[in-house]
Structure 1
Amino acid sequence: MKDHHGLARKLEEAIRAHVGNDFHLDSTSPERAEGSGKIVLAGDGKRFFVKYGKSGALDRFSAEADGLVALRDADCFRTPATIDCSGDDEHAWIILEHLELHPVRTLAEGRLAAEALANLHAHQSDAFGWHRDNYIGNTPQQNDHSGNWSRFFALQRLKPQFEFAARTEFGGELAKLGQKIIDRTPALFLDYRARPSLVHGDLWHGNIAITNDGHVASFDPAIHFGDHEVDLAMTELFGGLPDTFYATYRALWPLAEGHAERKTLYNLYHILNHLNLFGRGYLGQATRMAKQLSSMLSR
C-alpha cells in the first residue's frame, strides 16, 4: 500500500471489530483499478478483499454495499459479505469477504450462470429505478423511479453520459448524434414493453464467476430495476460467456423481436461511460454505435 501504513492499521482495526481481536494483519497484496485502490489483506489464515479511496469515495462504497445486499436477498448468486464500509477524514473503504473464484468457462458453468441470472430477473417491481442513486464504475448513476422505461433509459442513462462527454473534449458529432438518440429512443420500444426486473447493471463477464465449491458468484453491482435485456447485452460487450449461457437464458426467457437493436442502445451507455472514464480510446467505438443507432431511428 506504498506509504499507507496508517490506513492498513485502520483496516486491521475495522476487521478486528467484526471478526474478533485475534486478527493480526500479516500481508497486503495491492492492485490499482478505476481510480481506487484494491487490496487483499491476509492474517491468521483469513483473507479479505478491500477497496479504498479518498474520503469522498464513501458514498460509492455505500452504494456497492447496498447493491450486494440486494443481490444476496434475491438468493440467486453467491456474493461477498460486507465486513465494514466506513472511513475517516482522509480515506474511505469497503471490506469484503474474500472469495476464491474462477471465470465462467465450461458449458455446465454457463448453464448455471444463466439460471442464476434468469432467477435474478424474475424479481420484479412496479417501477423502474432504485431507492437510491448509485454508480456505474466510478460514475454516478441516477435512479429516480419511473413507469416509462424508454424515458428512464434516455434521460437517466444516456443523457448524463452524452452531457459529460460534451463538457470535456468529446462533443461535436457525438453530441449531435446523442441528442437525436435521446429524443428518439422511444421509437425502439413501440412494440416492446419492458418489465422492471432486478438487474445487476454492470454485468460484464468479469463480474460473474464460479466459486471453488461450484456456486455462481456476482459482485460490483450497479443494481436497479430495469429491462432484463441490459444485463444480457453487457455480457457480450467485453468478451462474452460460454454459448450455453445464452442458449439456456433464451430457453428460460425468450428474447423479444428487436433485441439486437436494443442491445446496441444498452451497450452504448457502457461505451460512453468508458469514454468518460478512460478517454479517447473509446471515442471511435462510441461514435460508430451512435451512428448505427441514429440510422436505425431514422427509418
Structure 2
Amino acid sequence: MPPPDPFATWLAERLGAELVARAPVGGGCIHSAWRLELADGSLLFAKTNAASALPLLEAEAEGLQSLSLAAEEHGLLVPVPLACGLSGPVAILVLSWLNLEGGRFAAPALHWRRLGAALAGLHRHSLTLPCAAGDRGGASFGWPRDNVIGSFPQRNGWDDDWGRFFVERRLAPQLEHLASSGTPLRQAESLLERAGQWLADHRPDACLVHGDLWSGNAAITASGQGVIFDPAVYRGDREVDLAMARLFGGFPEAFYEGYTEAWPLPSGHEFRRDLYNLYHVLNHANLFGGSYLGQGQGQINRLLSRGAAQERG
C-alpha cells in the first residue's frame, strides 16, 4: 500500500477535509496548480511550491482577502483563501474553486461591462475602509508590507505623494535591478526625473488596486460573474489597473466602457497609462529578459519624446 499523500494529511489537519483526488491545472508560470476533489463532492483549488516560496503565497492570500473585503456588494468575485502554510518542504495555498469553463473571452460583452463597473465599485469602496492590518485606508499610497509582482519583490511602505511613490518604489527598483544585472537601459535617470515631474500635478485617490490586472488574472465564471485573482495589491492610482488591463492583449472593450460609465477617468490618463505600464514591461524584462529589454527601452524613448513634446506645448 502506498504511503498517505502528505498533501492530504495537511489538508485534513488544516481544513478537516478528506482529499479524494488531485489533478494538475495549467496556466501558472511560478507555482504548480491543482484541482482538489473532496470526499463530499466539492472542489478546491491549490497552489504549491518549494517552502522558500511561502512568502509569495502568503502575500497572495493577504491580497485576495483585502480585495474580497473591498469587493463586497459590488458583484465582483474574488477567490477565498482557505489555508496557507507548509507541509514539510512544500508551501501550499488553498483557495475556493472557480468554475471558469465557458467563460473568459467567450463571455457576452454584458458580463465584461459588469466586471468593469464592479472594479470601479471596488476602487471607490476601498477608500472608505482599511482592507488589511496596518492599512491606512485611503489616506496614503503604499501597503503595510512589501509583496511581489510576479516573483519580483515589490517595494511598498507609505508615501503621501503618489508621483514620488511611483517613481521611487515602482520604476526605480526595476531600473536599478536591470543595471545591476548588466543590462542597464539608456536614459533611465532622465526617465525617473521626468516621471516625477509628469505626475507632480496629478492627485489621485489612494485606492486599493489589484496591481497585476492583465487579462490572465481576470475571467468570467460559467455562471456569468466577473472574477479577479493573482493580485499584487497596494494603494495607488486606480488608473494603474485600467492601464495594465490594456497590456498584453487587453480586455474586451466592454470592460473599459463599464468602468468609465461607473467612474470616469480624469484627463491625461492616456499618457499616464503608458508610464504606468512601463513598470510591468520592466518587470518582465527583469524576470524574462529577451525582447522585453528592447520593449522597455523603446517605451522609455517614446515617453521622453512625448513628454518633451507636451512641455513644448
Q: TM-score, structure 1 length as denominator?
A: 0.90
Letter in 1 for 2:271: E
SS in structure 1 opposite 2:191?
helix
1:48 maps onto 2:61 in alignment: no
Give yes or no for contact 2:112–2:226 (8 Å, CA) kept in 1. no
SS in structure 2 opposite 1:145?
strand
SS in structure 2 opposite 1:198?
strand
Instruction: Quickly say closer, same or farther: Cα 1:17–1:214, change in 2 above 3 A.
Output: farther
Deviates more, 1:114-123 or 1:212-221: 212-221
Give yes or no for contact 1:34–1:137 (8 Å, CA) kept in 2. no
Aligned-pair distance for 1:11? 2.1
Aligned-pair distance for 1:136? 0.8
Aligned-pair distance for 1:213? 2.4
Aligned partners of 1:52, 1:27: CA distance in 2, in Å? 12
Aligned-pair distance for 1:190? 4.0
2:131 corresponds in structure 1 to none
Letter in 2 for 1:243: E
Aligned partners of 2:210, 2:298: CA distance in 1, in Å? 26
Give yes or no for contact 1:188–1:261 (8 Å, CA) kept in 2. no
1:111 to 94, 110, 113: 113
1:197-216 correspondence to structure 2 within 5 Å? 197-216=207-226
Letter in 1 for 2:202: Y
1:62 to 58, 63, 82: 58
1:157 maps onto 2:170 in alignment: yes
1:79 corresponds in structure 2 to 78
Give yes or no for contact 1:34–1:138 (8 Å, CA) kept in 2. no
Aligned partners of 1:117, 1:232: CA distance in 2, in Å? 9
Instruction: Quickly say closer, same or farther: Cα 1:118–1:30, change in 2 above 3 A.
Output: closer
Aligned partners of 2:83, 2:201: CA distance in 1, in Å? 45
Aligned-pair distance for 1:115? 1.0
Aligned-pair distance for 1:232? 0.2
SS in structure 2 opposite 1:284?
helix
Q: Deviation digits for residues 186-229 of structure 1, max 9, x if unmatched?
A: 22224421110111101111211122222211111111110000
Aligned partners of 1:90, 1:27: CA distance in 2, in Å? 19
Aligned partners of 2:249, 2:108: CA distance in 1, in Å? 15
Aligned-pair distance for 1:18? 4.3
Give yes or no for contact 1:100–1:212 (8 Å, CA) kept in 2. yes
Aligned partners of 2:23, 2:226: CA distance in 1, in Å? 27
Instruction: Quickly say closer, same or farther: Cα 1:200–1:147, change in 2 above 3 A.
Output: same
Aligned partners of 2:6, 2:77: CA distance in 1, in Å? 28
Aligned partners of 1:112, 1:159: CA distance in 2, in Å? 35
Aligned-pair distance for 1:41? 2.6
Aligned partners of 2:27, 2:210: CA distance in 1, in Å? 23
1:1-299 correspondence to structure 2 within 5 Å? 9-21=5-17, 23-31=18-26, 33-44=28-39, 45-74=41-70, 75=72, 76=74, 77-88=76-87, 90-101=89-100, 102-104=103-105, 105-122=107-124, 123-124=126-127, 125-171=138-184, 174=185, 176-298=186-308, 299=311
Deviates more, 1:279-288 or 1:243-252: 243-252
Deviates more, 1:125-134 or 1:71-80: 71-80
Instruction: Quickly say closer, same or farther: Cα 1:48–1:235, change in 2 above 3 A.
Output: same
Aligned-pair distance for 1:264? 0.7
5+ residue gaps, structure 1: none
5+ residue gaps, structure 2: 128-137
Give yes or no for contact 1:53–1:93 (8 Å, CA) kept in 2. yes
Letter in 1 for 2:92: W
Aligned-pair distance for 1:260? 1.3
% identical equivalent positions: 38
Aligned-pair distance for 1:273? 0.8
Aligned residues: 290
Aligned-pair distance for 1:159? 0.6
Q: Deviation digits for residues 240-277 of structure 1, max 9, x if unmatched?
A: 22222212222222222211111111101111111111
Give yes or no for contact 2:170–2:279 (8 Å, CA) kept in 1. yes
Aligned partners of 2:29, 2:188: CA distance in 1, in Å? 25
Aligned partners of 1:237, 1:246: CA distance in 2, in Å? 13
